[in-house]
Amino acid sequence: MINSYINQLIDYGINNKLLESDDIYYAVNKILKILDLTSFKREKNEEMPVFNEIMENIIDYAIEKKVLKSSTIAAKDAFEAMIVDSLLPRPSELNRIFYQKYKTGPMTATNYFHDFSKVTNYIKTERIKKDIKYLYQGKYASLDITINKSKPEKDPLDIISSNHDNSKYPMCPLCMENIGLYQTDNLAPRTNHRVVSLTLNHEVDKWGIQYSPYAYFNEHIIVLKKEHSPMYVNKKTFEELIDFLNKFPHYLIGSNAGLPIVGGSILSHHHFQGGRHDFPIEKARVLTTIKKNRMKVEVLDWPLSVVRIVGNNENKILDLVGQIFDFWINYSNESINIFSKTDTLHNAVTPIVKLDGANYNFYMIFRNNYTNKEFPYGMYHPDPSRFHIKKENIGLIETMGLAILPGRLEEEIEMIKKVLVNKESIDSYPELEKHGKWIKTMENKDLDNIDEFLKNEIGRIFEEVLEDCNVFKYGTNEDFINFVNKAIY
Ligand SMILES: [Zn+2]
């Protein structure tokens, strides 16, 4: 049977343009080596199962023959990535194809690379389908709620410590050393990992693009500096983002803030995230518009403090964004608890850019990572009373209104239903201890439609989590608008 499975996989490779006929025995022999086999017969496939089925059969064979000695998900994923790698072009070939397609248009090139990342199962399409997704009609906009079942929850304090480990190979999941790497433990499998080279802001081939294996939204792309060097968010970053948009105008692109607590999970490696998706923030109401130099600065009605700078002149946009950035970095207002500096700098910005026709829409989301005894996780971090729903850093994707909530919630919701509807004792479910106070508030509510009710509750708490991160939350909208006016003039 294994001979048929290999034949099926080879045909899958040919049908999906991963292999050409010249490559067949080259690929077969690599697979034979991995599976510890010594012969093969090319045969016509009677049926053509889907990728996952072929791969499951091959992996079952490998486990049965003890070629693969562990059957954990991580071990199976790594083994699958190694088998798939046998079908793939070398990175340089992929680059050539990508740039050949780019001549037709940037979207032709990214469509090709995105499809490639799906057919190689680098993007875990089937697993992503299991994520729970729904809309929550919030106060500001309809928010995208996702319960992410494929990625483990990280503690913000672990993120700070893991960013200091420089002895690992590769040093982080974004490093170029991951390309083709066989990996079974804490990092995602990378043998089938490919990066396309990119020139950004005149730095020739110093950058790369890849897709996220656990796409949080459509065509979730990661743009990374090839060199493992720390994230920075400053005027240079803004130029890099705009340059990316000029090269790939159909994408949105943004960066996490460059400081711990308010930044993303990998601060040690400069990178951006983007994709082809309309985010809730784009539909936010405009509280006030200030005109400046043929641009519009819109103060948005959003749970976090955010302005959108709109204009079609790249240099003017960069000047104005730079000016607002400089003003914010040094801005303190102790009467409303904004401390720009103690022993370190606390003010930061989450920048995001998207094109709307000829106009750049440049979002600047103001952030601050000040901590004190009362707020060890951060004054502008999710409040600990909401950690049961969301404890992790609020990164750029979430600031735009797309929640990425921990996968454990799926099971916990089922337990909560048993407590609320069937009146089971909460003590029978130790996992629910952290939800105790929340469950109490729901006990006397109308629970006829418990599923909808809980979905709304979770959406509401996520919205509050975003409000927790609002750097002007101790002041008023007027305070924020005054700040923006001062920053511009
Ligand atoms: Zn790195």
CA of 177 to the centre of ligand 1 (A): 8
- Could you tell me the pLDDT band of residue 416, with boundaries at 50, 70 and 90? very high
| pLDDT given for residue 153 in this prediction | 66
Q: Is the pLDDT of residue 353 over 60?
A: yes
CA of 181 to the centre of ligand 1 (A): 14
Pairing of strands 347-356, 359-368: antiparallel
Ranking 59-73, 117-131, 175-189 by mean pLDDT, the lowest is 175-189
CA of 321 to the centre of ligand 1 (A): 28
**E strand or H helix that includes residue 55:** helix 51-64
CA of 288 to the centre of ligand 1 (A): 41
Q: Is the pLDDT of residue 73 over 80?
A: yes
Question: What sections of 353-420 are H helices per DSSP?
Answer: 396-399, 408-420
| pLDDT given for residue 74 in this prediction | 86
| pLDDT given for residue 360 in this prediction | 98
| pLDDT given for residue 290 in this prediction | 97
CA of 417 to the centre of ligand 1 (A): 42
Contact status, residue 341 vs residue 332, Cβ threshold 8 Å: yes
| pLDDT given for residue 162 in this prediction | 54
CA of 244 to the centre of ligand 1 (A): 20
CA of 252 to the centre of ligand 1 (A): 23
- Could you tell me the pLDDT band of residue 149, with boundaries at 50, 70 and 90? confident
Contact status, residue 405 vs residue 147, Cβ threshold 8 Å: yes
CA of 350 to the centre of ligand 1 (A): 20
What rounded mean pLDDT belongs to the chain?
A: 94
CA nearest neighbour of 268 among 225, 314, 238, 237: 225
> pLDDT tens digits for 4-13?
999 999 999 9
CA of 161 to the centre of ligand 1 (A): 15
Segment 63-80 shows an average pLDDT of 93
Q: How far is Cα 464 from Cα 275, in angstroms, rounded to an integer?
A: 26
The angle at the Cα of 322, spanning 404 to 175, to the nearest 5 degrees, equals 50
Contact status, residue 253 vs residue 274, Cβ threshold 8 Å: yes
The gap from C-alpha 464 to its chain's centroid, in whole angstroms, comes to: 21
Residue type, 340: S
Give SS3 for 97.
helix
CA of 236 to the centre of ligand 1 (A): 19
CA of 168 to the centre of ligand 1 (A): 10
CA of 213 to the centre of ligand 1 (A): 17
Q: Is the pLDDT of residue 345 over 70?
A: yes
Give the single-character DSSP code of 112: H
CA of 337 to the centre of ligand 1 (A): 35
- Could you tell me the pLDDT band of residue 408, with boundaries at 50, 70 and 90? very high
Segment 38-60 shows an average pLDDT of 94
CA of 450 to the centre of ligand 1 (A): 44
CA of 220 to the centre of ligand 1 (A): 19
CA of 194 to the centre of ligand 1 (A): 15
**E strand or H helix that includes residue 223:** strand 221-225
The set of residues, in sequence order, having a beta carbon less than 8 Å from that of 93 and lying 6+ positions away, is none
CA of 225 to the centre of ligand 1 (A): 9
Ranking 52-61, 122-131, 218-227 by mean pLDDT, the lowest is 122-131
CA of 427 to the centre of ligand 1 (A): 44
> pLDDT tens digits for 288-303?
999 999 999 999 999 9
Give the single-character DSSP code of 170: S
- Between 190 and 469, the more confident residue is 469
> pLDDT tens digits for 220-267?
999 999 999 999 999 999 999 999 999 999 999 999 999 999 988 889
CA of 178 to the centre of ligand 1 (A): 9
CA of 286 to the centre of ligand 1 (A): 38
pTM comes to 0.94
Segment 438-464 shows an average pLDDT of 95
CA of 253 to the centre of ligand 1 (A): 20
Q: Is the pLDDT of residue 285 over 70?
A: yes
CA of 227 to the centre of ligand 1 (A): 7
Q: Is the pLDDT of residue 137 over 90?
A: yes
| pLDDT given for residue 159 in this prediction | 56
Pairing of strands 196-200, 203-211: antiparallel
| pLDDT given for residue 90 in this prediction | 95
| pLDDT given for residue 167 in this prediction | 74
The set of residues, in sequence order, having a beta carbon less than 8 Å from that of 7 and lying 6+ positions away, is 42, 43, 44, 45
- Any long-range contacts for 470-476 (C-beta under 8 Å, 24+ apart)? 470/303, 470/304, 470/305, 470/380, 471/304, 471/305, 471/338, 471/347, 471/366, 471/367, 471/368, 471/380, 472/305, 472/336, 472/338, 472/366, 473/380, 474/336, 474/337, 474/338, 475/333, 475/335, 475/336
- Could you tell me the pLDDT band of residue 165, with boundaries at 50, 70 and 90? low
| pLDDT given for residue 225 in this prediction | 98
CA of 128 to the centre of ligand 1 (A): 25
Segment 123-127 shows an average pLDDT of 91
**Pair of tokens at residue 365:** 């989301």
Count CB-CB contacts under 10 A for residue 49: 16
